[in-house]
């Protein structure tokens, strides 16, 4: 109820109409309020989001390194066990069986069958003499009698007792690797038991890993040649495009590095007692997309929270600034009334004093002049009768002129009820300028009038228009130097409004100040101005159904354009008595 009463009071007291555009000062206040409050509310959310993003990056990095490390550890052990198991089987055979037991087709085939049944992965087996000639062979190929003396693996076996080869093509023309054992015979000679291992053994161990589409696991040798196919780097026996790890550490996960525009995390493990290096490489997702897809709920919550916060902030700031503006408008109205009342009271007191001090002597002068005329007319032989009559007439004319001036002053100062009448704007402006005759003459100002002959009369309030134009013209007087020019013109614009333009060649108004000149309490006159003159002027013009515009350029002058309707606006501005 109290709020309703306050609104009614505001409606009654505030006769100033709301403008369509919020004044720049309030727009700035609203903008700063929204920005400041939003930052206070949203910055903590943004900081928490960034912290979550970087924590997710760290967790993703750590998870990737852990996954690769686990794959390396498990697969390394499996590969080492598989190769060591088959080496041990061959070692057992060559030490438990004599050369005679092995140097027969049937005996060698029996050994191969037992190896396949017990361990799997064996393709064939052969017995090779010290000259590199394969004397006995059991397997699917016709390789008996092949000579391996010049092959790399045979040269290696001469130095070592056991040898695990790289993957190569050989006589079979298919990828394979071999495990060979050298055994000394009596008399200083030796022979080699050589077994071919099926590549399916390595393939099975690699392909059985549970890998996603961004992870690649493969085996290379120490020269960087692929021993198994790679998802990222090509087919078997092709050379990889990265530097081969050095055997400083048996297993390591390498920090991220950038390769061909992709972020990779790679790990390697050396397979003991073999030339093989197990590689696991993971192409990392974009950190942002990884975080975005895994924190969708958090992001939606953040966006909804930010939207709700912004909506509340905008609504609250708009409502607060609007309320503040309404309070300022009410305060401005009070000051308007105080300023107007003080001005009218001062003028009224001055007018009353002038009327009292001038009208009485004028009446006496007028009566004496009339008596003088009567005396001159009564006596036909009155000396210098014509001259005396002319002087008496001059006196009475001057008295009439002074009386007219005092009546105009009283009429201007009197605060009356709204009185709509037909007004000739040119006459009204000439009358307003007439009050400034003394200052115009003293400062040698040039006042020109340029009104179209077709300019129609208007229906409006004379007293209010006098106040409007007097205020604008007084501002023009302040703006121009002595000898300045003020041009007052009138025309009919395209909206069928009568436009009165008051143009001066004064110092002008800066673009920065121009947007504030109609705001209450804004003044460029320092301590000599109240900042209410143009605010009151605009409000009166709007109440009379018109509008006021201003054009100015610093150092070149200012033009005020007052546009008024030809017919009186319904419910026009009514001053309270």
Instruction: Output the domain CATH number for residue 458.
Output: 3.30.565.10
Domain assignment present for 549: yes
Q: Are strands 446-451 and 557-565 parallel, antiparallel or unpaired?
A: unpaired
Domain assignment present for 180: yes
pLDDT at residue 329 in the model: 79
519 within 8 A of 23, measured Cβ to Cβ: yes
Q: What is the number of domains present in the chain?
A: 4
Q: 169 and 312: one domain? A: no
Domain assignment present for 405: no
Residue 120 has φ and ψ, to the nearest 5°, of 80, 160
Q: 13 and 132: one domain? A: no
Q: 227 and 163: one domain? A: no
33 within 8 A of 321, measured Cβ to Cβ: yes
Distance CA 368, CA 551 (A): 55
Q: Can you spell out the DSSP letters for 285-353?
A: PPHHHHHHHH-HHHHHHHHHHHHHHHHHHHHHHHHHHHHHHHHHHHHHHHHHHHHHHHHHHHHHHHHHH
Domain assignment present for 383: no
Choose the final residue of a domain: 202, 232, 258.
202
Q: 428 and 564: one domain? A: yes
Residue 141 has φ and ψ, to the nearest 5°, of -110, 160
Domain assignment present for 76: no
Q: 284 and 304: one domain? A: no
Domain assignment present for 412: no
Q: 561 and 534: one domain? A: yes
Give per-10-residue mean pLDDT for the chain (577 aa): 39 40 73 87 86 84 87 90 91 88 88 90 91 91 88 85 87 86 86 91 85 89 92 90 79 71 84 91 78 80 88 88 83 73 63 66 78 75 76 79 68 58 88 81 89 85 85 88 90 85 88 75 55 76 88 88 80 40
Q: 90 and 26: one domain? A: no
Distances in Å between the alpha carbon of 129 and those of 89, 148, 240?
A: 20, 10, 37
423 within 8 A of 460, measured Cβ to Cβ: yes
DSSP 519: S
473 within 8 A of 562, measured Cβ to Cβ: no
pLDDT at residue 414 in the model: 54
What is the SS3 assignment for 86?
helix
Residue 241 has φ and ψ, to the nearest 5°, of -95, 5
Distance CA 527, CA 265 (A): 73
**Count of all residues that appear for the chain in the document:** 577
Q: 287 and 228: one domain? A: yes
Question: Which secondary structure element, helix H or strand E, spans residue 262, and what is its range?
Answer: strand 262-270
Q: 435 and 573: one domain? A: yes
Q: Can you spell out the DSSP letters for 357-400?
A: IIIHHHHHHHHHHHHHHHHHHH-TT-TTHHHHHHHHHHHHHHHH
Range of the domain at 424: 417-577
Distant-in-sequence, close-in-space partners of 105: CB < 8 Å, separation ≥ 6: 136, 138
pLDDT at residue 520 in the model: 65
Q: 444 and 421: one domain? A: yes
Domain assignment present for 69: no
Domain assignment present for 401: no
Choose the final residue of a domain: 202, 228, 246.
202
Distant-in-sequence, close-in-space partners of 448: CB < 8 Å, separation ≥ 6: 485, 486, 487, 488
Residue 286 has φ and ψ, to the nearest 5°, of -60, 130
User: Chain centroid to CA 522: how far?
Assistant: 32
Q: 440 and 553: one domain? A: yes
525 within 8 A of 498, measured Cβ to Cβ: no
CATH number of the domain to which 181 belongs: 3.30.450.20
Q: 512 and 554: one domain? A: yes
Distance CA 365, CA 367 (A): 5
Choose the final residue of a domain: 292, 322, 347.
292
DSSP 151: S
Dihedral sign from CA coordinates of 529, 531, 532, 536:
positive
């Amino acid at each position: 109820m109290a709020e309703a009463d306050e609104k009614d009071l505001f409606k009654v007291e505030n006769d100033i109409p709301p403008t369509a555009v919020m004044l720049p000062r309030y727009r700035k206040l609203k903008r700063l309020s929204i920005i400041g409050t939003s930052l206070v509310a949203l910055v903590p959310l943004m900081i928490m989001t960034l912290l979550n993003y970087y924590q997710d990056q760290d967790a993703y990095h750590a998870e990737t390194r852990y996954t690769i490390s686990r794959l390396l550890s498990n697969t390394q052990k499996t590969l080492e066990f598989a190769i060591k198991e088959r080496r041990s089987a061959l070692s057992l055979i060559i030490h438990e069986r004599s050369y005679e037991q092995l140097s027969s087709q049937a005996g060698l085939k029996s050994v191969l069958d037992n190896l396949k049944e017990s361990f799997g992965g064996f393709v064939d087996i052969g017995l090779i003499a010290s000259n590199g000639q394969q004397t006995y062979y059991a397997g699917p190929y016709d390789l008996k009698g092949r000579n391996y003396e010049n092959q790399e693996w045979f040269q290696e076996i001469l130095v070592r007792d056991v040898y695990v080869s790289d993957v190569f093509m050989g006589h079979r023309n298919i990828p394979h690797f071999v495990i060979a054992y050298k055994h000394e015979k009596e008399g200083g000679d030796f022979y080699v038991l050589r077994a071919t291992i099926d590549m399916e053994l390595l393939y099975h161990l690699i392909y059985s890993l549970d890998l996603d589409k961004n992870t690649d696991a493969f085996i290379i040798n120490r020269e960087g040649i692929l021993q198994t196919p790679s998802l990222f780097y090509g087919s078997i026996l092709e050379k990889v495009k990265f530097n081969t790890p050095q055997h400083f550490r048996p297993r390591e996960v390498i920090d991220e590095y950038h390769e061909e525009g992709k972020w990779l995390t790679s790990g390697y493990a050396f397979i003991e007692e073999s030339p093989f290096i197990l590689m696991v490489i993971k192409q990392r997702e974009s950190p942002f997309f990884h975080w975005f897809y895994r924190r969708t709920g958090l992001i939606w919550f953040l966006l909804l929270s930010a939207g709700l916060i912004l909506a509340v902030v905008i609504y609250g700031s708009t409502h607060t600034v609007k309320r503040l503006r309404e309070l300022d408008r009410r305060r401005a109205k009070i000051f308007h009334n105080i300023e107007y009342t003080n001005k009218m009271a001062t003028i009224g007191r001055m007018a009353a004093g002038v009327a009292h001090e001038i009208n009485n002597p004028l009446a006496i002068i007028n009566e004496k002049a009339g008596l003088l005329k009567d005396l001159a007319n009564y006596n036909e032989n009155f000396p210098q009768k014509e001259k005396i009559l002319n002087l008496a007439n001059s006196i009475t004319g001057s008295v009439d002129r002074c009386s007219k001036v005092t009546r105009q002053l009283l009429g201007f100062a009197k605060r009356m009820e709204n009185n709509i009448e037909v007004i000739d704007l040119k006459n009204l402006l000439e009358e307003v300028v007439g009050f400034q005759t003394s200052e115009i003459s003293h400062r040698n100002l040039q006042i020109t009038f340029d009104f179209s002959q077709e300019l129609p009369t208007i229906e409006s309030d004379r007293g209010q228009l006098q106040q409007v134009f007097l205020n604008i013209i007084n501002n023009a007087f302040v703006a121009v130097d002595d000898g300045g020019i003020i041009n007052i013109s009138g025309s009919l614009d395209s909206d069928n409004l009568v436009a009165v333009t008051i143009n001066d060649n004064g110092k002008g108004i800066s673009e920065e100040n121009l947007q504030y000149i109609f705001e209450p309490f804004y003044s460029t006159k320092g301590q000599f101005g109240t900042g209410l003159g143009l605010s009151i002027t605009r409000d009166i013009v709007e109440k009379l159904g018109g509008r006021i515009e201003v054009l100015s350029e610093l150092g070149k002058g200012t033009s005020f354009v007052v546009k008024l309707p030809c017919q009186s606006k319904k419910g026009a501005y009514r001053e309270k008595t």
